[in-house]
């Protein structure tokens, strides 16, 4: 007589169960990688902000060394009620040989805007 040999194979339910488990693992791995990318992007943004701040501090300090004595003034923009806004202005007049420049730095959220006003000495 013939002996019955038993064949081993995966059932459809076992395959579906493995696919679901692998899908859950893949989603958790991608969310972990996404969190790492987000942290990296925040670090790069902070590094750029620090670099810009260092550049501006160096530039302002260099310009203040050449400022005309007693020309430094710190002011702020007033709103309709006369209250001082958070935007402050640093104004000073550096003196060069034949040129007087009024430099105004306006502080706005995430932005520092220098404004130059030139006039020749006659």
pLDDT for 122 equals 42
90 and 103, same domain (yes or no): yes
13 and 59, same domain (yes or no): yes
5 and 58, same domain (yes or no): yes
Last residue of a domain, one of 25, 46, 65: 65
Give the span between the Cα atoms of 103 and 114, in whole angstroms.
Answer: 7
49 and 1, same domain (yes or no): yes
The whole-number average pLDDT for the span 22-40 is 92
Give the span between the Cα atoms of 8 and 16, in whole angstroms.
Answer: 17
DSSP label of 1: -
Which residue is listed with tokens 């003196």? 95
pLDDT category of residue 23 using cuts at 50, 70 and 90: very high
Domain span at residue 118 reads 66-122
48 and 105, same domain (yes or no): no
Q: Which residues, 6+ apart, have CB-to-CB distance to 64 below 8 Å?
A: 72, 92
Q: Rounded to two decimals, what is the model's pTM?
A: 0.52
57 and 5, same domain (yes or no): yes
Question: Could you give the number of structural domains in the chain?
Answer: 2
């Amino acid at each position: 007589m013939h002996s019955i040999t038993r064949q081993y194979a995966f059932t459809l339910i076992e395959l579906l169960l493995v696919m679901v488990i692998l899908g859950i693992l893949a989603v958790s791995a991608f969310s972990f990688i996404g969190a790492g990318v987000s942290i990296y992007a925040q670090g790069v943004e902070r590094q750029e902000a620090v670099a810009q701040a260092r550049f501006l501090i160096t530039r302002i300090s260099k310009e203040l060394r050449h400022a005309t004595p007693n020309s430094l003034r710190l002011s702020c923009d007033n709103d309709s009620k006369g209250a001082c806004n958070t935007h402050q202005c640093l104004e000073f007049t550096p003196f060069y040989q034949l040129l007087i420049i009024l430099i105004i730095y306006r502080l706005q959220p995430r932005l520092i805007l220098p404004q130059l006003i030139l006039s020749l000495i006659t």
